[in-house]
């Protein structure tokens, strides 16, 4: 089937389509991961976005739902150079093309993904349209140009759980605000023994207080953190009262609640090979990341008692903050999604236990 990908700058790509006849729009972004396409497609943080894989062949080890980060695909569309139609892995249940069709998602292949990636790096993330069926190039381009910007979308309510639930363990009690949480985060917290009370995005601070948590955890999720107004209010509600922990979007929300600010990155960080440096130790470790917004390091005043603890080696953006005074620990990357090395995971969970026990961080 023929497919059309149109980017708001006027560029048109024609390729091979997968999926039912329709048109979707979203912010087109790229990930540099060579593996992990199952995890990326089902990551709720990609809601509202058309996901481009820079690695030229996607789908070679098939699909295994045990690797899913949610129950279904959240990316609005998928762009690749080539889909592998003959996957080979003993745990594979289907091909990636079969998954895309079954999920009523759109995919396009047979186009120059390198050209699109360079365009995004030069011009920044842009709106795009992807269509299969009886559409012409002008229709798809006009749809891209008229699509809402990612900062105008309220996406968290579409990916959060609907009702609270508990994953019972014997450790300290953590109230988790689900803003589009990945299964790997829930699993890592539970595997480390924490007793989890997981709440929908629109829960109030008073409702969370009822479980008498030892700490409040803010999850990853899609879109502009400033749209997560209720989550920011919860961060303010518990600031200085309970330890606050955040990953990715949760990191940004805790910083907003503590008086900081955020801004949109030109094209974001998405991949498994992003180097992060700990400011105190100068130690560098490789991290997995997926975000299009960042915390403004200069938005905390000298008396805020909040310090930037980690930075991105490539562009010096904030990768983590901490505060012994407020008991805050946040990271921009995903320590639970270790891309081989597990040093970032160990350090994060060691520090998490110290924050909850109100021990001073090194």
And the tokens for 134? 């009886």
Active-site residue 248, yes or no? yes
Active-site residue (options: 76, 272, 336, 345): 336
Q: Determine the straight-line distance between the first and last CA of the chain, rounded to whole angstroms.
A: 57
- At which residue do the structure tokens 């295994």 appear? 64
- Of 119, 200, 135, 187, nearest to 345 by C-alpha is 187
Active-site residue 255, yes or no? no
- At which residue do the structure tokens 């098939």 appear? 62
The conformation of residue 72, written as its DSSP 8-state character, comes to S
- At which residue do the structure tokens 């990768």 appear? 319
Active-site residue (options: 248, 251, 269, 291): 248
And the tokens for 217? 């955890």
And the tokens for 188? 């890592």
And the tokens for 31? 């990930």
Q: What is the DSSP string of 189-248?
A: HHHTT-EEEEE-TT--HHHHHTT--SEEEE---SS-GGG-HHHHHHHHHHTTTS-EEEET
Q: What is the C-alpha to C-alpha distance for residues 149 and 246, in angstroms, rounded to an integer?
A: 25
Q: What is the C-alpha to C-alpha distance for residues 328 and 87, in angstroms, rounded to an integer?
A: 44
Active-site residue 336, yes or no? yes
What's the Cα-to-Cα distance from 307 to each of 103, 147, 226, 231, 333, rounded to whole Å?
43, 38, 21, 21, 17
Judged by DSSP in three states, 100 sits in helix
Q: What is the C-alpha to C-alpha distance for residues 85 and 336, in angstroms, rounded to an integer?
A: 30
- Beta-carbon contacts of 113 under 8 Å, excluding residues fewer than 6 positions away, are 30, 52, 53, 54, 56, 79, 80, 81
Catalytic residues: 248, 334, 336
């Amino acid at each position: 089937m023929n497919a059309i990908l149109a980017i708001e700058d006027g560029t048109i790509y024609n390729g091979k389509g997968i999926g039912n006849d329709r048109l979707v729009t979203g912010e087109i972004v790229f990930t540099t991961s060579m593996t992990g396409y199952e995890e990326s497609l089902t990551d709720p943080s990609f809601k509202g976005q058309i996901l481009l894989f820079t690695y030229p062949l996607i789908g070679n080890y098939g699909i295994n739902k045990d690797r899913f980060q949610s129950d279904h695909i959240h990316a609005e569309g998928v762009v690749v150079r080539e889909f592998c139609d003959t996957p080979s892995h003993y745990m594979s249940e289907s091909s990636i093309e079969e998954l895309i069709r079954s999920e009523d998602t759109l995919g396009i292949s047979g186009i120059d993904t390198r050209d699109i990636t360079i365009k995004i790096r030069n011009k920044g993330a842009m709106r795009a349209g992807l269509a299969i069926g009886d559409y012409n190039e002008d229709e798809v381009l006009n749809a891209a140009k008229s699509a809402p910007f990612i900062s105008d979308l309220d996406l968290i309510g579409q990916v959060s759980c609907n009702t609270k639930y508990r994953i019972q363990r014997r450790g300290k009690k953590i109230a988790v605000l689900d803003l589009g949480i990945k299964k790997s985060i829930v699993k890592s917290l539970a595997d480390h023994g924490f007793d989890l009370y997981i709440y929908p995005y629109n829960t109030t601070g008073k409702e969370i207080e009822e479980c008498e948590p030892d700490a409040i955890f803010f999850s990853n999720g899609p879109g502009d953190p400033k749209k997560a107004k209720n989550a920011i209010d919860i961060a303010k509600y518990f600031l200085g009262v309970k330890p606050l922990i955040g990953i990715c979007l949760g990191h940004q929300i805790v910083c907003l609640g503590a008086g900081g600010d955020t801004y949109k990155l030109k094209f974001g960080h998405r991949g498994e090979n992003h180097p992060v440096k700990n400011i105190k130790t100068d130690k560098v470790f490789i991290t997995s990341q997926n975000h299009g917004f960042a915390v403004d390091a200069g938005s905390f005043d000298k008396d805020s008692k909040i310090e930037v603890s980690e930075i991105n080696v490539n562009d010096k953006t904030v990768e983590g903050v901490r505060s012994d005074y407020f008991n805050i620990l946040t990271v921009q990357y995903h320590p639970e999604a270790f891309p081989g090395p597990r040093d970032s995971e160990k350090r994060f969970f060691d520090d998490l236990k110290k924050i909850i026990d109100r021990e001073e961080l090194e």
